[in-house]
Structure 1
Amino acid sequence: MAIVELLNQDMKQAMKARDKETLSVIRMVKASMQNEAIKLQKDALSEEEELTVLARELKQRKDSLHEFEEAGREDLVSKLNTEIEIIQAYMPEQLSDEELETIVVQTIEEVQAQSKKDMGKVMSALMPKVKGKAEGSRVNQLVQKNLS
């Protein structure tokens, strides 16, 4: 089932349950997806594009969470934690460190990378394989570790 269809289904359930927080987050995510479709001049996004939007929304909230924690805004921290949980429910299951390490090593062998100079080549081949399943910073750290 496409992510948009799942969002629509969950939006109806949130309306019936009068769950304002979930409803609000789902509406924000749907709006972001619609904006992305308009930007790309498409009627509907592919699943990969939907994942890109979800990952972007998740990253924005995690960045904001860090800022609010530093500022001591506990009221906003708890709200953002709830939003992050709701969005993560639509993301594919994250890869374990072992699985990610295996994919990184295979990709390094595929592109025949020798040193950190080949980092860009490795990352460009690797990111489409792990899109939505691992954060870019985690991937970057593993690639650097395996190239040194």
Structure 2
Amino acid sequence: MVHVFMYGTLKKGQSNHYKLLNSDNGQAEFITCARTIDKYPLVIAGKRNVPFLLNVPGSGHRVYGEIYRVDQKMLKYLDWFNKCPEWYQRTSIQLEILKKNEESGGVEEAFVYSTIKYEPGWLHKPTYESYDANGDHGLKFVPRDD
């Protein structure tokens, strides 16, 4: 079992969260909420308005998300879903565990999927601390057909 940080459409309440709940894909267990120790640009881009975490540490915001414990079958599914390594890379990052009152609960290491293929203009897009498909950004996520 490994830990994976979800910051986009796989989080609770988002359009692809059901994929984590589907046991045909493997096992995933919610652990806790967290935010990145380093700042990263989280942008919404492309014709489908996908949330992308750009692997540019030190730029953007400390990004909020959720940590899940997943088995090898789910990790393999997530690699496929995120088109890793063609579009995304899976790397290890440091996360601050958040308690219910937003106090720090220590540091945890987890895998994250960050995009390696992006348009140069994406670095100039607005960046976000947290992703919600129904956020005030007005960029409605368009699911892909699998």
Larger Rg computed on CA atoms: 1
Q: Which has the higher contact order (CA 8 A, sep 6+)?
A: 2
TM-score of the aligned structures, taking structure 2 as reference length: 0.20
TM-score of the aligned structures, taking structure 1 as reference length: 0.20
- Structure having the larger proportion of residues in strand: 2
